[in-house]
Amino acid sequence: MIEFRNVAHRYGGTELLAEVSLRLAPGTFHFLTGPSGSGKTTLLRLAYGELVASAGEVMLFDKDRRKMTRDELALVRRRIGVVHQDCQFLDHLPLIENVALPLVVSGRTGGPESEGLGELLAWVGLAARAGALPPELSGGERQRAALARALILGPDVILADEPTGNLDWEMSLRLLTLLVELNRMGKAVLIATHDLNLIRAVKAQVAARVLRIRDRRVQAAGAEL
């Protein structure tokens, strides 16, 4: 569904990623590790088409990102759900309307996704908080709301950038459990994280592949994980 073919990316004259080849197939679960500044967020931004690679090919559902029109990219990105560490919401709108925003933007209100909105909020444990404003939510509630918003269009791929970075251990495990459930439904999942304990906890439940960015390249992590 998403494939990197010998991809490189530069910021100015600095090469941040080089010779990256990676394939996210249906039902696969990947962790991406590496120190701060190594390029984890950049790789995710390449994966959902926000950035264009400096070299190589990023294929999004069999289409070369470099050759896609703006409309083609918009359609493809509906199939990719993104959960950011610093999830942004409109503070004047209740939670349920914030989660539904992708439906409004894509003109799909009134469809089956809208009808399933309450069920989605219940699945992430936020049904009772549907009317709450974002400033009233805890960190864990905000991250689960961000996951719900990423899922509202029924994506095939979930990309999460340090989704548990601001959460305690218990809430981190709860969020990761939801992502494991999605993977078991056939979704491809890629999580950028530095938390090795979380990686170990998930690897006990699913066959997750662990990748590490080192010296600008993506490598399979060692058995110590």
CA nearest to 37, candidates 199, 192, 222: 192
Beta strands in the chain (DSSP E): 2-11, 14-24, 29-33, 55-60, 63-64, 80-83, 157-161, 188-192, 209-214, 217-220
At 12 the pLDDT is 81
CA nearest to 150, candidates 198, 89, 206, 202: 89
Sign of the CA dihedral 157, 26, 217, 67? negative
CA distance 20 to 23: 10
pTM: 0.90
**Residue ranges covered by each domain of the chain:** 89-154
Distances (CA, A) of 163 to 63, 179, 203: 28, 10, 17
Q: What is the chain's pLDDT, residue by residue, as a tens digit (225 residues)?
A: 899 999 999 988 888 899 999 999 999 999 999 888 889 999 999 999 999 999 999 999 999 999 999 999 999 999 999 998 788 899 999 999 999 998 888 776 665 566 678 899 999 999 999 999 999 999 889 999 999 999 998 899 999 998 888 788 888 888 888 899 999 999 999 999 988 888 988 888 888 999 999 989 998 875 444
The CA-CA-CA angle for residues 141, 162, 98, to 5°, reads 40
